[in-house]
């Protein structure tokens, strides 16, 4: 069976089953959620188990995070199912990365295109502590004022650099790009690939250590924690990478990986079943990708 036929078979089966389914930063001004209620978040750690970034599990083999969280494949450990970093709870799953794929146009100087995919060396086991995050479709937007939630293990204070042992979360409203780019705020440094969220009075925000973690709006990861001016500062909301700007890049990157490994049909079948479990993939884009040729170099990056 060739890869195209395999993809169609897996996609049709999963959609039939699931038709009715649906700069380092930390949390300031938030609270500890119910343990293991945010099941898609992962802690990205050094190999000696020091947390430094967050991420979101988008299927059993892939994590989405910020490009500036790239510490090198041999220096990173992905931990799913964690809640308290201070104790071993028995729910953790530790997996080494197999591949790091930062966006090809990522700019460290401007923070533009601050997004990265991590291919895991082994799949995570989905259970009552670990699940998959949903992503928005390409070009989807979230309205100004919409209240979203950002989570992570980052600092709880930008002053005393207080580090929590447990996961924290906080709700923040979406801020328009126009306001975020005003002379009183980021003064034109917000690109079309960025999303702002926070309060004009400050007090609630992501902070150091939350980078790469999810900003969830309407049940989907619309933002990846990217950068900001301090933490929870008045007039300076948190800045996130807009995931919906990169949905096609995410899909193309994942499927092109399997196209390169199509010699192993067993590998492709096992992993692709997981890929489309996040079944609200952009089906029409998937079909376009498959029939137009996965190595189409003229396709826009996002």
Is 48 an active-site residue?
Answer: no
Please count the structural domains in the chain: 1
CATH code of the domain covering residue 99:
2.40.10.10
- Exactly one of 56, 211, 279, 294 is catalytic; which is it? 211
Specify if 194 maps to a domain. Answer: yes
pLDDT at 22 over 60: no
- Exactly one of 36, 43, 51, 68 is catalytic; which is it? 68
Is 285 an active-site residue?
Answer: no
What digits encode the pLDDT tens for the residues 64-110? 999 999 999 999 999 999 999 989 999 999 999 999 999 999 999 99
Q: Which residues 6+ apart lie within 8 Å of 171 measured at CB?
A: 147, 148, 149, 204
When mean pLDDT is compared across 86-100, 246-260, 285-299, the lowest value belongs to 285-299
Q: Which residues 6+ apart lie within 8 Å of 133 measured at CB?
A: 40, 56, 57, 58, 64, 214, 216, 220, 221, 278
Specify if 49 maps to a domain. Answer: yes
- Give the pLDDT score at 30: 62
Specify if 183 maps to a domain. Answer: yes
Task: Tell me which residue of 106, 136, 102 sits closest to 119, measured CA to CA.
Answer: 102
Higher pLDDT, residue 261 or 216: 216
Is 68 an active-site residue?
Answer: yes
pLDDT at 206 over 80: no
Cβ 170 vs Cβ 219: under 8 Å: no
Specify if 103 maps to a domain. Answer: yes
SS3 for 194? strand
The number of residues in the chain equals: 302
DSSP 50-74: -EEEEEEEEETTEEEE-GGG---GG
Specify if 296 maps to a domain. Answer: no
**Residues facing residue 224 across a β-bridge:** 214, 241
Specify if 59 maps to a domain. Answer: yes
Of 8-12, 89-93, 235-239, 298-302, the range with the highest mean pLDDT is 89-93
Specify if 268 maps to a domain. Answer: no
SS (H, E, C) 210-254: CCCCEEEECCEEEEEEEECCCCCCCCCCEEEEEHHHCHHHHHHHH
What digits encode the pLDDT tens for the residues 174-200? 999 999 998 888 888 999 999 999 886
What digits encode the pLDDT tens for the residues 113-152? 999 999 999 999 999 999 999 999 999 999 999 999 999 8
pTM: 0.80
Domain that includes residue 168, residue range = 41-249
Specify if 173 maps to a domain. Answer: yes
H-type alpha helices, the chain:
3-17, 177-180, 247-260, 265-275, 283-292
SS3 for 97? strand
């Amino acid at each position: 069976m060739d890869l195209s036929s395999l993809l169609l078979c897996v996609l049709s089966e999963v959609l039939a089953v699931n038709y009715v389914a649906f700069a380092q930063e930390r949390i300031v001004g938030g609270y500890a959620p119910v343990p293991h209620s945010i099941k898609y978040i992962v802690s990205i750690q050094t190999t000696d188990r020091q947390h430094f970034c967050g991420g979101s599990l988008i299927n059993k083999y892939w994590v989405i995070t910020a490009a500036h969280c790239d510490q090198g494949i041999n220096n990173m450990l992905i931990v799913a199912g964690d809640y308290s970093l201070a104790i071993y709870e028995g729910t953790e799953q530790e997996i080494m990365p197999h591949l790091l794929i930062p966006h090809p146009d990522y700019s460290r100087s401007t923070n533009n295109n601050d997004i990265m995919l991590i291919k895991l060396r082994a799949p995570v086991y989905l259970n009552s502590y670990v699940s998959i995050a949903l992503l928005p479709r390409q070009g989807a937007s979230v309205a100004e004022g919409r209240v979203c939630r950002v989570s992570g293990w980052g600092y709880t204070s930008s002053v005393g650099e207080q580090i929590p042992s447990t996961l924290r979360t906080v709700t923040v409203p979406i801020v328009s790009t126009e306001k975020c780019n005003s002379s009183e705020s980021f003064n034109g440094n917000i690109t079309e690939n960025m999303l702002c969220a926070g309060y004009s009075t400050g007090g609630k925000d992501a902070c150091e250590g939350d980078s790469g973690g999810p900003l969830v709006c309407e049940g989907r990861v619309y933002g990846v924690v990217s950068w900001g001016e301090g933490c929870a500062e008045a007039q300076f909301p948190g800045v996130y990478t807009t995931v919906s700007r990169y949905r096609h890049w995410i899909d193309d990157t994942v499927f092109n990986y399997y196209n390169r490994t199509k010699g192993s049909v067993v590998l492709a079948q096992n992993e692709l079943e997981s890929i489309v479990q996040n079944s609200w993939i952009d089906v029409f884009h998937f079909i376009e990708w498959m029939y137009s040729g996965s190595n189409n170099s003229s396709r826009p990056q996002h």
